[in-house]
């Protein structure tokens, strides 16, 4: 039987976020998604206009029934806007050993989704029960009544949230470094997640006695800040936790899944569904195999199509040849390694599957107009 994962959140009838998106994400990862709806929340609506919170008894009845019959292995708590529901929800979920709290205080456009009383209730009743607490930096600013403008601010905020009871904390959406979006996992995982160091992660410690944390960054600022990505990521992490991953490993696996399936994938609203499916599958393959394969023929063979047809697909969807899409992905990863690690250029070349440092440097210069060392020195 598939692993049951419970999502407790609001309903977004557009399917871009909330319960509907969680169902899609959890199912795609091979788990069994079960849900409890807390409210009906039209997209981008600010409280109280346009949002209807279900009565506390209705929400708690759903949760109690699911926990009592299905026995979910992990629980995600997303949008909950009613204070009494938040207060009582704690007593329903504490028996589960894997709880992800991802309240979404603000939406992707910066609009506050729940009122201040609900924020306070989450901090008091749900944060102390969190195996993992996931907040945008803007959410943490609201919950902690502080400003987050630097990496050091993120570390301080995460430590405060850990001290409030959250075992692990992920802060997302740091925009204080131009051209990058930054996230932080606290405390610093020791050892690093199974399967190696996640792409773009850089260990960081700060302050006497601090256990620090792991920063991870991306140059795809538009992709990671799109509406629905935060919810999809938290649902994916919850699913991986329920399937047996520890927290750092769950984050790594979920990050890689969302990286290919959501952040870099094309909008499925296009008319040609076959082309969309192939394009998204191609991008997912690149994310999984870029360290061992840089040639178009490898991916075309994996997709059981010709290189010519793959070129037609990518040109139709994004106006680029597949070779350039592979190159763009390699450059994104190379820049991340150069910016966030102390690896030598040779070590980066090895990790990215280049047969020599010279070949990697030539590729980098052709794409960026500068050498890897020059690029790093300019950061």
pLDDT at 205: 43
DSSP 192: P
- Six-digit token pair at 278? 């192939």
Q: Which residues contact 14 (CB under 8 A, 6 or more apart)?
A: 20, 43
Give the domains, in start order, of the chain with CATH numbers. 4-263 (3.40.1190.20), 273-377 (1.10.10.60)
CA 261: distance to chain centroid? Answer: 11
pLDDT at 172: 85
CB 187 within 8 A of CB 162: yes
Model-level pTM greater than 0.85?
no
- Helix, strand, coil percentages in the chain from 3-state DSSP, rounded to 5: 50, 15, 35
CA 138: distance to chain centroid? Answer: 16
What are the tens digits of pLDDT across the range 258-278? 765 555 554 444 344 567 778
Helix axes 229-242, 18-28, angle to 10 degrees: 50
3-state secondary structure 294-353: CCHHHHHHHHCCCHHHHHHHHHHHHCCCHHHHHHHHHHHHHHHHHHHCCCCHHHHHHHCC
All residue ranges of the chain with pLDDT < 50 are: 43-49, 193-210, 220-221, 266-272
Instruction: For the chain, count helices (H), then strands (E).
Output: 16, 10
Query: Strands 99-101 and 132-136: what pairing?
Result: parallel
pLDDT at 73: 97
Q: Give CA–CA dist 76/236, Å, rounded.
A: 10
User: Half-sphere exposure of residue 108, counting CA atoms within 13 Å on the CB side?
Assistant: 17
């Amino acid at each position: 039987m598939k692993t049951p994962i419970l999502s407790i959140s609001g309903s977004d009838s557009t399917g871009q976020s909330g319960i509907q998106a969680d169902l899609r994400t959890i199912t795609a990862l091979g788990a069994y998604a079960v849900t409890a709806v807390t409210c009906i929340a039209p997209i981008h609506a600010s409280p109280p206009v346009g949002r209807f919170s279900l009565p506390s008894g209705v929400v708690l009845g759903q949760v109690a029934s699911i926990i009592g019959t299905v026995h979910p292995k992990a629980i995600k708590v997303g949008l909950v806007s009613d204070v009494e529901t938040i207060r009582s929800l704690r007593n329903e979920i504490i028996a589960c050993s894997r709880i992800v709290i991802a309240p979404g205080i603000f939406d992707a456009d910066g609009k506050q989704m729940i009122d201040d009383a609900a924020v306070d209730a989450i901090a008091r009743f749900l944060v102390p029960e969190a195996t993992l607490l996931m907040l945008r930096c803007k959410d943490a600013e609201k919950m902690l009544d502080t400003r987050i403008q630097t990496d050091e601010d993120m570390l301080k905020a995460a430590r405060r949230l850990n001290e409030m009871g959250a075992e692990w904390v992920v802060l997302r959406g740091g925009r204080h470094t131009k051209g990058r979006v930054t996230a932080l996992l606290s405390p610093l995982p020791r050892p690093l997640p199974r399967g190696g160091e996640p792409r773009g992660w850089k260990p960081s410690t700060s302050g006497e006695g601090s256990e620090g944390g792991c920063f991870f960054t991306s140059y795809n600022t538009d992709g990671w800040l799109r509406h629905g990505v935060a919810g999809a990521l938290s649902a994916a992490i919850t699913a991986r936790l329920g399937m047996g991953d520890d927290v750092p490993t769950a984050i790594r696996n979920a990050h890689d899944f969302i990286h290919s399936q959501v952040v870099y994938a094309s909008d499925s609203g296009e008319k040609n569904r076959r082309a969309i499916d192939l394009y998204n599958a191609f991008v997912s393959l690149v994310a999984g195999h870029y360290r061992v394969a840089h040639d178009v023929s490898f991916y075309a063979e994996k997709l059981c199509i010709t290189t010519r047809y793959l070129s037609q697909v990518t040109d139709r969807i994004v106006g680029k040849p597949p070779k350039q899409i592979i190159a763009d992905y390699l450059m994104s990863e190379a820049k991340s390694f150069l910016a966030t690690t102390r690896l030598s250029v040779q070590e980066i070349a090895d990790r990215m599957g280049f047969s020599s440092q010279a070949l990697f440097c030539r590729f980098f210069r052709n794409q960026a107009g500068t050498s890897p060392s020059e690029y790093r020195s300019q950061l």
